[in-house]
Amino acid sequence: QKKEAAYTIGFSQCVESDAWRKTMLEGMKRELTFHPNINFIYRQADGNSQKQVSQVKELLQKKIDLLIISPNEADPLTPVVEEAFSKGIPVIVVDRKISTPLYTAYVGGDNYAIGKMAGEYALHWLNGKGKIIEITGLPKSSPAMERHKGFTDALKNYPAIQIIHQVNGEWLNQTAKKEFAAIAPQYPDVNLVFAHNDMMAHGVYEVYKNSSHPQPAIIGVDGLPNAGMQFIAGKEITATMLYPTGGEEAIRIALKVLNKQDYVKENLLQTTVIDSTNVRIMELQAAKAISQQQQIERQLGMLKEQQRIYNNQRTFVYILVTS
Ligand code: FRU
Protein backbone atom coordinates (compact mmCIF):
# COMPACT_ATOMS: atom_id res chain seq x y z
CA GLN A 1 0.00 0.00 0.00
CA LYS A 2 1.24 3.46 -0.94
CA LYS A 3 2.24 5.57 2.03
CA GLU A 4 0.00 8.60 2.53
CA ALA A 5 1.70 11.99 2.27
CA ALA A 6 2.54 13.65 5.57
CA TYR A 7 0.38 16.67 6.36
CA THR A 8 -0.22 18.81 9.42
CA ILE A 9 -3.81 19.51 10.44
CA GLY A 10 -4.47 22.21 13.02
CA PHE A 11 -7.69 21.98 15.01
CA SER A 12 -9.00 25.03 16.84
CA GLN A 13 -11.77 24.07 19.28
CA CYS A 14 -13.81 26.79 21.03
CA VAL A 15 -14.11 25.00 24.38
CA GLU A 16 -13.32 21.51 25.61
CA SER A 17 -14.74 21.07 29.08
CA ASP A 18 -18.00 19.36 28.13
CA ALA A 19 -18.77 15.78 27.10
CA TRP A 20 -19.97 16.79 23.64
CA ARG A 21 -16.65 18.44 22.74
CA LYS A 22 -14.75 15.51 24.20
CA THR A 23 -16.79 13.16 22.03
CA MET A 24 -15.93 15.29 18.99
CA LEU A 25 -12.20 15.10 19.73
CA GLU A 26 -12.37 11.34 20.33
CA GLY A 27 -14.09 10.94 16.97
CA MET A 28 -11.33 12.89 15.26
CA LYS A 29 -8.57 10.92 16.97
CA ARG A 30 -10.25 7.66 16.10
CA GLU A 31 -10.42 8.61 12.43
CA LEU A 32 -6.80 9.79 12.57
CA THR A 33 -5.59 6.35 13.69
CA PHE A 34 -6.18 5.30 10.06
CA HIS A 35 -3.79 8.04 8.91
CA PRO A 36 -0.56 7.68 10.88
CA ASN A 37 1.23 10.20 8.67
CA ILE A 38 -1.00 13.07 9.70
CA ASN A 39 0.42 15.37 12.32
CA PHE A 40 -2.43 16.80 14.44
CA ILE A 41 -2.09 20.00 16.45
CA TYR A 42 -4.95 20.74 18.84
CA ARG A 43 -5.79 23.98 20.65
CA GLN A 44 -8.90 24.80 22.70
CA ALA A 45 -9.92 28.30 23.74
CA ASP A 46 -11.93 27.88 26.98
CA GLY A 47 -14.97 29.49 25.38
CA ASN A 48 -13.09 32.76 24.79
CA SER A 49 -13.32 34.17 21.25
CA GLN A 50 -10.22 36.39 21.59
CA LYS A 51 -8.16 33.49 22.85
CA GLN A 52 -9.36 31.41 19.93
CA VAL A 53 -8.31 34.11 17.44
CA SER A 54 -4.76 34.10 18.80
CA GLN A 55 -4.64 30.31 18.83
CA VAL A 56 -5.63 30.21 15.16
CA LYS A 57 -2.87 32.74 14.43
CA GLU A 58 -0.41 30.53 16.28
CA LEU A 59 -1.54 27.50 14.24
CA LEU A 60 -1.05 29.47 11.02
CA GLN A 61 2.49 30.34 12.10
CA LYS A 62 3.15 26.67 12.63
CA LYS A 63 2.59 26.20 8.89
CA ILE A 64 -0.38 23.89 9.10
CA ASP A 65 -1.63 22.44 5.80
CA LEU A 66 -5.29 22.61 6.79
CA LEU A 67 -7.34 24.23 9.54
CA ILE A 68 -10.35 22.67 11.24
CA ILE A 69 -12.26 25.11 13.42
CA SER A 70 -15.34 25.16 15.62
CA PRO A 71 -15.65 28.90 16.22
CA ASN A 72 -16.85 30.10 19.62
CA GLU A 73 -18.81 33.01 18.11
CA ALA A 74 -19.27 33.73 14.42
CA ASP A 75 -18.22 37.37 13.99
CA PRO A 76 -15.04 37.55 16.12
CA LEU A 77 -13.55 34.49 14.39
CA THR A 78 -14.48 35.47 10.84
CA PRO A 79 -11.44 37.69 9.96
CA VAL A 80 -8.84 35.13 11.03
CA VAL A 81 -10.60 32.36 9.09
CA GLU A 82 -10.72 34.61 6.02
CA GLU A 83 -7.02 35.29 6.51
CA ALA A 84 -6.21 31.58 6.57
CA PHE A 85 -8.39 30.86 3.57
CA SER A 86 -6.92 33.68 1.49
CA LYS A 87 -3.44 32.38 2.27
CA GLY A 88 -4.46 29.15 0.58
CA ILE A 89 -4.97 27.09 3.75
CA PRO A 90 -8.13 24.99 3.37
CA VAL A 91 -10.57 25.53 6.25
CA ILE A 92 -13.10 22.98 7.48
CA VAL A 93 -15.70 24.55 9.77
CA VAL A 94 -17.37 22.20 12.27
CA ASP A 95 -20.61 22.69 14.26
CA ARG A 96 -20.55 26.48 14.78
CA LYS A 97 -20.34 28.69 11.70
CA ILE A 98 -18.53 31.87 10.68
CA SER A 99 -19.96 34.90 8.86
CA THR A 100 -18.24 34.47 5.50
CA PRO A 101 -18.43 32.07 2.54
CA LEU A 102 -14.61 31.97 2.54
CA TYR A 103 -14.10 28.45 3.87
CA THR A 104 -13.55 25.12 2.16
CA ALA A 105 -16.24 22.94 3.74
CA TYR A 106 -18.71 22.89 6.61
CA VAL A 107 -19.82 19.84 8.56
CA GLY A 108 -22.33 19.72 11.39
CA GLY A 109 -25.89 19.01 12.40
CA ASP A 110 -28.69 21.04 10.83
CA ASN A 111 -29.39 23.48 13.63
CA TYR A 112 -32.38 25.11 11.96
CA ALA A 113 -33.96 21.67 11.51
CA ILE A 114 -33.17 20.85 15.13
CA GLY A 115 -34.90 24.01 16.37
CA LYS A 116 -37.87 23.27 14.15
CA MET A 117 -38.13 19.69 15.37
CA ALA A 118 -37.98 20.91 18.96
CA GLY A 119 -40.77 23.40 18.16
CA GLU A 120 -42.91 20.70 16.59
CA TYR A 121 -42.33 18.45 19.58
CA ALA A 122 -43.36 21.28 21.90
CA LEU A 123 -46.49 21.96 19.85
CA HIS A 124 -47.48 18.35 20.03
CA TRP A 125 -46.68 18.04 23.72
CA LEU A 126 -48.69 21.16 24.59
CA ASN A 127 -51.56 20.31 22.28
CA GLY A 128 -51.19 23.66 20.59
CA LYS A 129 -51.56 25.76 23.75
CA GLY A 130 -49.19 26.82 26.50
CA LYS A 131 -46.33 28.91 27.87
CA ILE A 132 -42.72 28.33 26.99
CA ILE A 133 -39.37 29.61 28.29
CA GLU A 134 -36.39 29.35 25.95
CA ILE A 135 -32.83 29.02 27.24
CA THR A 136 -30.39 29.92 24.50
CA GLY A 137 -26.73 29.17 23.94
CA LEU A 138 -24.31 32.07 23.34
CA PRO A 139 -26.53 34.41 21.29
CA LYS A 140 -23.73 35.14 18.79
CA SER A 141 -22.92 31.51 18.08
CA SER A 142 -24.65 30.13 14.99
CA PRO A 143 -26.35 27.08 16.57
CA ALA A 144 -28.11 29.35 19.07
CA MET A 145 -29.32 31.65 16.29
CA GLU A 146 -30.44 28.78 14.08
CA ARG A 147 -32.07 26.72 16.84
CA HIS A 148 -33.98 29.81 17.94
CA LYS A 149 -35.11 30.58 14.39
CA GLY A 150 -36.26 27.00 13.72
CA PHE A 151 -38.07 26.85 17.04
CA THR A 152 -39.98 30.11 16.58
CA ASP A 153 -40.78 29.28 12.94
CA ALA A 154 -42.40 26.02 14.04
CA LEU A 155 -44.60 27.91 16.51
CA LYS A 156 -45.42 31.02 14.57
CA ASN A 157 -48.86 29.97 13.34
CA TYR A 158 -50.01 28.97 16.81
CA PRO A 159 -51.07 32.10 18.71
CA ALA A 160 -52.09 30.07 21.78
CA ILE A 161 -48.45 29.13 22.27
CA GLN A 162 -46.33 31.89 23.76
CA ILE A 163 -42.63 32.15 24.44
CA ILE A 164 -42.97 34.13 27.66
CA HIS A 165 -39.29 34.57 28.45
CA GLN A 166 -35.82 34.02 27.05
CA VAL A 167 -32.65 33.42 29.05
CA ASN A 168 -29.03 33.34 27.85
CA GLY A 169 -27.54 30.19 29.35
CA GLU A 170 -24.24 30.56 27.40
CA TRP A 171 -24.36 26.82 26.57
CA LEU A 172 -23.39 26.14 30.21
CA ASN A 173 -25.13 24.08 32.88
CA GLN A 174 -24.20 26.44 35.72
CA THR A 175 -25.20 29.64 33.93
CA ALA A 176 -28.51 28.16 32.80
CA LYS A 177 -29.24 26.88 36.29
CA LYS A 178 -28.44 30.20 37.94
CA GLU A 179 -30.29 32.35 35.41
CA PHE A 180 -33.30 30.08 35.35
CA ALA A 181 -33.51 29.86 39.14
CA ALA A 182 -33.57 33.67 39.23
CA ILE A 183 -36.59 34.02 36.95
CA ALA A 184 -38.52 30.77 37.63
CA PRO A 185 -40.53 32.24 40.55
CA GLN A 186 -42.02 34.86 38.19
CA TYR A 187 -43.33 32.16 35.86
CA PRO A 188 -45.02 29.48 37.97
CA ASP A 189 -47.37 28.68 35.06
CA VAL A 190 -44.68 27.79 32.50
CA ASN A 191 -45.58 24.54 30.70
CA LEU A 192 -42.40 23.79 28.80
CA VAL A 193 -38.76 24.84 28.71
CA PHE A 194 -36.69 24.54 25.55
CA ALA A 195 -32.96 24.65 26.31
CA HIS A 196 -30.52 24.78 23.40
CA ASN A 197 -28.47 21.91 24.85
CA ASP A 198 -28.86 19.05 27.33
CA MET A 199 -26.46 20.50 29.89
CA MET A 200 -28.67 23.58 30.21
CA ALA A 201 -31.81 21.41 30.13
CA HIS A 202 -30.37 19.51 33.07
CA GLY A 203 -29.71 22.80 34.84
CA VAL A 204 -33.43 23.55 34.60
CA TYR A 205 -34.24 20.10 35.95
CA GLU A 206 -31.88 20.75 38.90
CA VAL A 207 -33.83 23.90 39.76
CA TYR A 208 -37.11 21.98 40.02
CA LYS A 209 -35.58 18.95 41.67
CA ASN A 210 -35.04 20.93 44.83
CA SER A 211 -38.41 22.65 44.84
CA SER A 212 -41.95 21.48 45.52
CA HIS A 213 -43.18 23.12 42.32
CA PRO A 214 -44.20 20.62 39.60
CA GLN A 215 -41.68 20.44 36.80
CA PRO A 216 -42.66 21.59 33.28
CA ALA A 217 -41.66 19.55 30.22
CA ILE A 218 -37.99 20.11 29.38
CA ILE A 219 -36.50 19.72 25.91
CA GLY A 220 -32.76 19.74 25.22
CA VAL A 221 -30.38 19.13 22.32
CA ASP A 222 -27.33 16.81 21.84
CA GLY A 223 -28.51 13.35 22.94
CA LEU A 224 -25.17 11.94 24.03
CA PRO A 225 -25.44 8.41 25.48
CA ASN A 226 -23.68 9.44 28.70
CA ALA A 227 -25.71 12.65 29.14
CA GLY A 228 -28.97 13.46 27.32
CA MET A 229 -30.02 9.83 26.85
CA GLN A 230 -29.41 9.17 30.52
CA PHE A 231 -31.39 12.26 31.54
CA ILE A 232 -34.34 10.94 29.53
CA ALA A 233 -34.04 7.39 30.78
CA GLY A 234 -33.97 8.80 34.33
CA LYS A 235 -37.06 10.94 33.56
CA GLU A 236 -35.14 14.12 34.36
CA ILE A 237 -35.86 15.75 31.01
CA THR A 238 -38.60 15.03 28.46
CA ALA A 239 -36.87 14.92 25.08
CA THR A 240 -33.68 15.81 23.25
CA MET A 241 -32.78 16.40 19.61
CA LEU A 242 -29.77 14.33 18.52
CA TYR A 243 -26.85 16.57 17.51
CA PRO A 244 -23.95 14.57 16.09
CA THR A 245 -20.52 16.12 16.70
CA GLY A 246 -19.09 15.61 13.20
CA GLY A 247 -15.62 14.75 14.53
CA GLU A 248 -14.97 11.74 12.27
CA GLU A 249 -16.58 13.43 9.28
CA ALA A 250 -14.39 16.54 9.68
CA ILE A 251 -11.23 14.41 9.45
CA ARG A 252 -12.59 12.44 6.50
CA ILE A 253 -13.36 15.66 4.60
CA ALA A 254 -9.98 17.13 5.58
CA LEU A 255 -8.21 14.12 4.06
CA LYS A 256 -10.21 14.36 0.86
CA VAL A 257 -9.26 18.02 0.56
CA LEU A 258 -5.58 17.37 1.31
CA ASN A 259 -5.43 14.43 -1.11
CA LYS A 260 -7.14 16.51 -3.82
CA GLN A 261 -10.18 14.24 -4.00
CA ASP A 262 -13.74 15.38 -4.64
CA TYR A 263 -15.60 16.65 -1.60
CA VAL A 264 -18.90 18.34 -0.80
CA LYS A 265 -18.83 21.89 0.61
CA GLU A 266 -21.91 21.77 2.86
CA ASN A 267 -22.28 18.57 4.89
CA LEU A 268 -25.35 18.46 7.13
CA LEU A 269 -25.62 15.55 9.56
CA GLN A 270 -28.88 13.77 10.36
CA THR A 271 -30.88 14.39 13.48
CA THR A 272 -33.78 12.71 15.28
CA VAL A 273 -35.96 13.14 18.36
CA ILE A 274 -35.12 11.07 21.43
CA ASP A 275 -37.71 10.72 24.18
CA SER A 276 -39.03 8.03 26.52
CA THR A 277 -40.53 6.10 23.58
CA ASN A 278 -37.19 5.36 21.88
CA VAL A 279 -34.45 6.10 24.40
CA ARG A 280 -33.86 2.42 25.17
CA ILE A 281 -33.21 1.51 21.54
CA MET A 282 -31.02 4.57 21.07
CA GLU A 283 -28.97 3.51 24.10
CA LEU A 284 -28.61 -0.01 22.73
CA GLN A 285 -27.50 1.32 19.36
CA ALA A 286 -24.96 3.61 20.96
CA ALA A 287 -23.58 0.75 23.07
CA LYS A 288 -23.31 -1.42 19.95
CA ALA A 289 -21.43 1.30 18.07
CA ILE A 290 -18.99 1.65 20.97
CA SER A 291 -18.32 -2.08 21.13
CA GLN A 292 -17.74 -2.25 17.36
CA GLN A 293 -15.35 0.64 17.73
CA GLN A 294 -13.42 -1.17 20.44
CA GLN A 295 -13.18 -4.20 18.20
CA ILE A 296 -11.72 -2.11 15.38
CA GLU A 297 -9.19 -0.65 17.80
CA ARG A 298 -8.18 -4.15 18.96
CA GLN A 299 -7.75 -5.25 15.35
CA LEU A 300 -5.65 -2.19 14.58
CA GLY A 301 -3.46 -3.03 17.58
CA MET A 302 -3.02 -6.61 16.35
CA LEU A 303 -2.14 -5.42 12.86
CA LYS A 304 0.53 -3.13 14.28
CA GLU A 305 1.97 -5.99 16.32
CA GLN A 306 2.09 -8.23 13.22
CA GLN A 307 3.84 -5.46 11.33
CA ARG A 308 6.41 -5.15 14.14
CA ILE A 309 7.09 -8.90 14.18
CA TYR A 310 7.39 -8.95 10.40
CA ASN A 311 9.86 -6.04 10.42
CA ASN A 312 11.98 -7.73 13.11
CA GLN A 313 12.09 -10.95 11.16
CA ARG A 314 13.12 -9.08 8.04
CA THR A 315 16.00 -7.44 9.88
CA PHE A 316 16.98 -10.84 11.25
CA VAL A 317 16.98 -12.44 7.79
CA TYR A 318 18.97 -9.52 6.45
CA ILE A 319 21.60 -9.98 9.19
CA LEU A 320 21.80 -13.73 8.47
CA VAL A 321 22.24 -13.17 4.72
CA THR A 322 24.83 -10.44 5.01
CA SER A 323 26.96 -11.92 7.80
C1 FRU B 1 -20.91 21.97 23.44
C2 FRU B 1 -22.12 22.64 22.89
C3 FRU B 1 -23.21 21.62 22.63
C4 FRU B 1 -24.03 22.31 21.63
C5 FRU B 1 -22.95 22.89 20.76
C6 FRU B 1 -23.35 24.07 19.98
O7 FRU B 1 -19.88 22.86 23.70
O8 FRU B 1 -22.57 23.64 23.77
O9 FRU B 1 -23.90 21.26 23.78
O10 FRU B 1 -24.91 21.50 20.96
O11 FRU B 1 -21.89 23.22 21.65
O12 FRU B 1 -22.27 24.64 19.32
**CA 171, CA 21: separation in Å to the nearest integer?**
12
User: What pLDDT score was predicted for residue 322?
Assistant: 78
Q: Is 129 helix (H, G, I), strand (E, B) or coil?
A: coil
Reported as a single tens digit per residue, the pLDDT across 264-284 is 999 999 999 999 999 999 999
What is the model's pLDDT at position 1?
Answer: 53
pLDDT of residue 2: 61
Q: Whose CA is nearest to atom 6 of ligand 1?
A: 143
Mean pLDDT within 283-310: 89
The model's confidence at residue 14, banded by pLDDT at 50, 70 and 90, is: very high
What is the pTM assigned to this prediction? 0.92
Atom of ligand 1 nearest to the CA of 199: 9
User: Of all atoms in ligand 1, which is nearest to the CA of residue 172?
Assistant: 8
Closest atom, ligand 1, to C-alpha of 221: 10
- Single-letter code of the amino acid located at 28: M
Each residue's pLDDT tens digit, 112-170: 999 999 999 999 999 999 999 999 999 999 999 999 999 999 999 999 999 999 999 99
Report CA(219)–ligand 1 centroid distance (Å): 15
Q: Say whether pLDDT at 215 is over 70.
A: yes
The reported pLDDT for the residue numbered 318 is 79
As a whole number of angstroms, the distance between CA 296 and CA 313 comes to: 26
Kind plus residue range of the DSSP H or E element containing 115: helix 111-125
Which residue from 197, 198, 202, 219 has its CB within 8 A of the most atoms of ligand 1, so it is best to mutate?
Answer: 197
- Label residue 207 by pLDDT band (50, 70, 90): very high
Residues of the chain above pLDDT 90, percent: 86
Distance 314 CA to ligand 1 centre (A): 50
Across 31-59, average pLDDT: 96
Q: Distance from the CA of 168 to the center of ligand 1, in angstroms?
A: 14
Contact between 6 and 64 (Cβ < 8 Å): no
Predicted local distance difference test score (pLDDT) of residue 96 = 96
Mean pLDDT of 76-88: 97
pLDDT value at residue 13: 98
Q: Spell 271-310 as b/e; 16+ CB within 10 A means b.
A: bebbbeeebeebbeeeeeeeeeeeeeeeeeeeeeeeeeee
CA of 322 to the centre of ligand 1 (A): 60
Query: DSSP per residue over 185-236, as a string?
Result: GG-TT--EEEESSHHHHHHHHHHHHTSSSPPPEEEEEE--TTTHHHHHHTTS
89-109 pLDDT per residue, tens? 999 999 999 999 999 999 999
Ligand 1 neighbours by CB, cut-off 6 Å: 15, 18, 20-21, 95-96, 137, 141, 143, 171, 197, 199, 221-222, 243
Question: Biggest alpha carbon distance in the chain?
Answer: 91
For the chain, state the CA radius of gyration.
Answer: 23
Best residue among 12, 15, 95 to mutate for probing ligand 1's pocket (most ligand atoms within 8 Å of CB) is: 95
Tell which atom from ligand 1 comes closest to the C-alpha of 14: 7
Q: How many Å lie between the centroid of ligand 1 and the Cα of residue 197?
A: 6
Tell me: ipTM over 0.95: yes
Q: Count CB-CB contacts under 10 A for residue 139.
A: 12
Which of 22, 147, 170, 222 for a ligand 1 pocket mutation test, highest count of atoms within 8 Å of Cβ?
Answer: 222
171: number of Cβ within 10 Å: 25
Q: Specify the range with the lowest mean pLDDT, choosing from 23-27, 119-123, 300-304.
A: 300-304
Tell me how far the alpha carbon of residue 2 lies from the centroid of ligand 1, in angstroms: 38
Task: Give residue 164 CA to ligand 1 midpoint distance, Å.
Answer: 24
Q: Rounded to the nearest whole angstrom, what is the distance from the C-alpha of residue 211 to the centroid of ligand 1?
A: 28
pLDDT of residue 208: 97
Give residue 62's pLDDT: 95
Nearest CA to 207 among 220, 198, 216? 216
Task: State the pLDDT at residue 28.
Answer: 97
Q: What is the pLDDT of residues 169-185, one digit of tens each?
A: 999 999 999 999 999 99
Least confident of 47-61, 65-79, 125-139, 309-323: 309-323
